[in-house]
Amino acid sequence: MLAPLSILAVMALVATLLNPGREDFAWFLRLRRPAWLSFEGLIPFIWIAIYACFYGSALLSWRASGSWPLMLGYLVLLLLVQSYTLLICRTRSLRNGTVVGFAGWVWGLALTIAVGPVSAPGWLLLVPYLLWSPVGTLVTWQMQRLNR
């Protein structure tokens, strides 16, 4: 019972600490988006699903291996993912978001490869992030061009 609560507590703490303030986020919301981004209202729900997958993957990996290095890998991925919006908002630079988004995808791929031999379900639960992350990075890259 300790592992599920600990993983959840760490995720909630990181999400809380790396959340931009209202004023910063309001700036981000005022930026122009690509015309093809018609599903923006679904993005928060997509991220909730991805975070649930992170949680399930980390829990399954922990139960299968008890590996602290893997848990550190999940923490680094969470820090990269959660810092994306905060970094964009604080620096007012979409380029920083593109870089962090790409770095998160590379780290996520490495973590997925590391989790593969330990937990097949854990590996599969990281795939939604690997599929979604390039979409977010592409949106950010295109937003750079629209918001010079």
Block residue for tokens 């993983």: 7
Residue 65 within any structural domain of the chain: yes
User: Rounded to 5 degrees, what are φ and ψ at 20?
Assistant: -70, 155
**H or E element, residue 20:** none
Residue 82 within any structural domain of the chain: yes
Residue 126, domain extent: 46-148
Reported as a pLDDT band with limits 50, 70 and 90, residue 6 is very high
Summarize pLDDT for 68-80 with one digit per residue, the tens: 999 999 999 999 9
Distance CA 145, CA 148 (A): 6
Q: Which pair of structure tokens corresponds to residue 70?
A: 């893997």
Residue 10 within any structural domain of the chain: no
Block residue for tokens 């604080």: 90
Residue 64 within any structural domain of the chain: yes
Residue 15 within any structural domain of the chain: no
What are the CA-CA distances from residue 49 to residues 90, 132, 135 (Å)? 26, 11, 15
Block residue for tokens 């970094």: 87
| Domain count for the chain | 1
Mean pLDDT, residues 89-106 = 94
> What pLDDT does residue 1 have?
76
> What pLDDT does residue 148 have?
83
Residue 7 within any structural domain of the chain: no
Summarize pLDDT for 18-46 with one digit per residue, the tens: 999 999 999 999 999 999 999 999 999 99
> What pLDDT does residue 13 have?
97
Work out the end-to-end distance of the chain between its first and last CA atoms, rounded to an integer number of angstroms. 49
Mean pLDDT, residues 37-58 = 96
Residue 12 within any structural domain of the chain: no
Residue 102 within any structural domain of the chain: yes
Distance CA 59, CA 12 (A): 15
**Average pLDDT, rounded, for the chain:** 95
